[in-house]
Structure 1
Amino acid sequence: MLPLPSEQQLGPRPFYLVDTMKDGALKTQLSACTGPFRKSNFSIAHRGAPLQLPEHSRESYLAAARMGAGVIECDVTFTRDRQLVCRHSQCDLHTTTNILSKPDLATKCTQPFSPADPATGKKASAKCCTSDITLAEFKTLTAKMDAADTSATNVADYQNGTPRWRTDLYASPGTLMTHAESIALIKSLGAKFTPELKAPEVPMPFDGDYSQEKYATQMLDEYRAAGIPAADVFPQSFDLNDIKFWLRTAPDFGAQAVYLDGRYAAPSFDHLRSETWTPSMPELKAAGLRILAPPIYMLLTLDSSGRIVPSHYARAAREAGLDLITWSLERDGPLTKGGGFFHRSIKPAIDREGDTMTVLDVLAKDVGVRGVFSDWPATTTFYASCTGLR
């Protein structure tokens, strides 16, 4: 493994983003920034560096560290023999690995490949889960860019669905990682850890007695076994019960647990109306939570003049004494048409790639987030270095 540079190597993307910004004080400031660029805990690697490399692969983690990510994510799920591995979803192997091209393993998938039928409009589909296979079988797979062509009538075409704004140029080979392997690698890279306990897609307890509590405990036990200080680990979950469990049973880890706020999916939830927030911000704080992590759009809104400003949700979280982390920068694809899910509350103000930097600036300076997940950590490292963030 090549040693990490003492100054991070960011490549051309951050400078491209600055070049495409609207003229103004922020563009002037960032245009004058030539380094040095340093590793920053503000820069959180979302699944590694999946804008160009297969997510949660060894290669993606290495790239993230070389781009200065101070914190690197492993989404944690389990295999049929209860071993922990890094995957964004328990059931994403059909879009993130080559499992469908391996007949002996493809037949073990929860839902084997079914081709599209143009005559009826039926889309191609499959569902392959880590819990369908053993760790030894998982280790025979290779990672690929997360994508599928649902119009495909064969496996090869189904697996060849990477969006044009991503790339397959660096996708082979992609080395899959166990959770323990990710810990050893990230430790060697001098970064901190943010594992996410993924929601099981199989009934729990699994295989008789593998409960949610055992799963949540096993994840933290692998950091203890590796000698990682709890202060260097930011365990995440979308399930508030997981956070409360860690606070009760592992308070050293629970102290910096991150509640990923997925309440946006509930029809009754409105991030602009506090009466729809259950629990409330003060109730989250009283439960022992310190770090709240919503998607970017929930922290931002537009004022009467069309400027991007902190949302009511963002202000209420800070007033309750909660720290904020947000996700996921550079995941919407091109911003020339306003972006997608992550920019949906500010779409009218987004019309160019350089708006990535404007959004980042509001999140850092006005909202006051402590870190930002990005699919390309060079961008957040660049911003942190140029504005004096650590």
Structure 2
Amino acid sequence: MPTRFRSALLSALFCVAFIAPAAAQHTLPREAQIGPRPFYLVDKMKDGPLKQKLQQCTGPFHKTDFSIGHRGAALQFPEHTKESYSAAARMGAGVIECDVTFTKDRQLVCRHSQCDLHTTTNILSLPALAAKCTMPFIPADPATGRKASAKCCTSDITLAEFRTLTAKMDGFNPNATNVAGYQDGTPRWRTDLYSHSGTLMTHDESIALIKSLGAKFTPELKAPEVAMPFDGDYTQEKYASQMLRAYKDAGIPASDVLAQSFSLADILYWVKTEPEFAAQAVYLEGRYETSGLHPAKPETWKPSMVELKAQGVKILAPPITLMLALNDKSEIVPSEYAKAAKAAGLDLIGWSLERDGPLDRGGGFYHKSIKAAIDRDGDTLTVLDVLAQQVGVRGMFSDWPATTTFYASCMGMK
């Protein structure tokens, strides 16, 4: 074989062996990279059989649908960004969340709230866009006690303008007297190491990325903070249909999409119009904020668990605190709410692990019902074990999916 042909053949073989795999580098490997944090949490657990079992767990750790990336991996990466989603996938999240809202020109983007751009992006640093905010920045006034404030919504700007923003860690300084100080408000237990170049995502871009990572989807239809119909004829129903249509257009099977909403009306609309998606739609529990729902008082659960099931709800997703209680021995056990949901045939998904920060003082909202039993970071895994083994949740949202991936792998869960 002539030398030039031999060289060409070797070059081609090199391309097949090395370049082709590199092109597929975004595909999520079955084996997950969990890093040191889960082992740190194990070390901080109270002594007992669960700690002993987890101490003996050295892998392999694998991707699992039990591990749901809450806004990606928001403990350290700016939420709903390419970087956050990619980190969640590497940590084994089998399902990744895009909270969905819309821009001024009715394009869908990933943001936790329609009006959070002032705390999650650099919009206030861009004068032309800051001027379009619903409420431009108002500095704190120490003399009067006025706190700094602003309100910038995706519906204030177009998709093209949204694309010019950079994401940052969610947070703000209420005592700031200037924009730079206001945006410097990341909680101390998070980090700004990765927050200087967060890549915002449209809904369509999130679908393409998450698909390439080999994960499933859990988009949340965020409640609009503008009057609906928006701009004349953009109704809630059009908005709800638009979100699901994006998955159809992308060729995503309905079975891979766990559509979420805090609005029961949205869920029932999907039951009526999109039964394939409704089969795994997730009703997010927010009634504790609006109707006084109490996890130990069934008379406050309106509709009841049985009624929700009869209306077509398949999956209920409450915050951790609603699913747990303390018994007379101060042990963490399933709440009456959680037991009733399971008895009615509802699947449960919990939110959100690793969101309270350090647990040495009992945690915050997510551990409110069991605060007396929480005194160390290792209790994260104790709580997760009760949710998985006694409550029977089918999945857990987590701000650091490595933790849920580690637990699921060690316990032999899919």
| TM-score calculated relative to the size of structure 2 | 0.93
- Measure, in 2, the Cα distance between the counterparts of 1:372 and 1:5: 20
Q: Secondary structure at the match of 2:83?
A: helix
- Measure, in 1, the Cα distance between the counterparts of 2:188 and 2:234: 41
User: Of 248, 259, 262, which residue of structure 2 is paired with 1:235?
Assistant: 259
Q: Secondary structure at the match of 2:258?
A: coil
Q: Aligned ranges for residues 135-214 of structure 1 at < 5 Å?
A: 135-214=159-238
CA offsets 1:55-79 (integer angstroms, 9 cap, x no match): 0000000000000000000000000
AA at the equivalent of 1:212 = Q
Q: Secondary structure at the match of 1:44?
A: strand
- Measure, in 2, the Cα distance between the counterparts of 1:127 and 1:85: 18
Query: What is the deviation of 1:216?
Result: 0.1
- Measure, in 1, the Cα distance between the counterparts of 2:77 and 2:290: 32
Aligned to 2:16: none
- Measure, in 2, the Cα distance between the counterparts of 1:313 and 1:160: 39
Query: What is the deviation of 1:5?
Result: 4.0
Q: Secondary structure at the match of 1:145?
A: coil
Q: Does residue 262 of structure 1 match 2:286?
A: yes
- Measure, in 2, the Cα distance between the counterparts of 1:308 and 1:349: 7
Q: Secondary structure at the match of 2:333?
A: strand
Greater Cα offset, 269-278 or 79-88: 269-278
User: Of 4, 19, 37, which residue of structure 1 is paired with 2:43?
Assistant: 19
Q: Does residue 110 of structure 1 match 2:134?
A: yes
Q: Aligned ranges for residues 81-120 of structure 1 at < 5 Å?
A: 81-120=105-144
Aligned to 1:48: 72
- Measure, in 2, the Cα distance between the counterparts of 1:109 and 1:378: 36
CA offsets 1:38-70 (integer angstroms, 9 cap, x no match): 000000000000100000000000000000000
Query: Kindly, what percent of the aligned residue pairs are identical?
Result: 74
Q: Which has the larger radius of gyration?
A: 2
User: Of 367, 376, 382, which residue of structure 1 is paired with 2:391?
Assistant: 367
Q: Does residue 277 of structure 1 match 2:301?
A: yes
Q: Does residue 380 of structure 1 match 2:407?
A: no
Query: What is the deviation of 1:309?
Result: 0.1
Question: Which structure shows the higher helix fraction?
Answer: 2
Query: What is the deviation of 1:269?
Result: 1.9
Aligned to 2:14: none
AA at the equivalent of 2:242 = Q
- Measure, in 2, the Cα distance between the counterparts of 1:244 and 1:215: 14
- Measure, in 2, the Cα distance between the counterparts of 1:333 and 1:6: 29
Q: Secondary structure at the match of 1:373?
A: strand
Q: Does residue 7 of structure 1 match 2:20?
A: no
AA at the equivalent of 1:304 = D
Aligned to 1:62: 86
Q: Does residue 36 of structure 1 match 2:60?
A: yes
Aligned length: 390
Q: Aligned ranges for residues 261-340 of structure 1 at < 5 Å?
A: 261-266=285-290, 268-340=292-364
Query: What is the deviation of 1:267?
Result: 5.3
- Measure, in 2, the Cα distance between the counterparts of 1:247 and 1:321: 17
- Measure, in 1, the Cα distance between the counterparts of 2:292 and 2:77: 37
Q: Which runs of 5+ in 1 are unaligned?
A: none
Q: Secondary structure at the match of 1:344?
A: helix
Query: What is the deviation of 1:266?
Result: 2.7
AA at the equivalent of 1:279 = P
CA offsets 1:198-249 (integer angstroms, 9 cap, x no match): 0000000000000000000000000000000000000000000000000000
Task: Tell me how large the CA RMSD over aligned residues is.
Answer: 0.8
Query: What is the deviation of 1:7?
Result: 1.5
Query: What is the deviation of 1:28?
Result: 0.2
- Measure, in 1, the Cα distance between the counterparts of 2:245 and 2:30: 31
Q: Does residue 222 of structure 1 match 2:222?
A: no
Query: What is the deviation of 1:172?
Result: 2.1
Query: What is the deviation of 1:349?
Result: 0.3
- Measure, in 2, the Cα distance between the counterparts of 1:202 and 1:357: 40
AA at the equivalent of 2:249 = A
- Measure, in 1, the Cα distance between the counterparts of 2:253 and 2:196: 34
Query: What is the deviation of 1:170?
Result: 1.1
AA at the equivalent of 2:392 = G
- Measure, in 2, the Cα distance between the counterparts of 1:314 and 1:6: 32
User: Of 130, 141, 147, which residue of structure 2 is paired with 1:123?
Assistant: 147
Q: Which runs of 5+ in 2 are unaligned?
A: 1-22
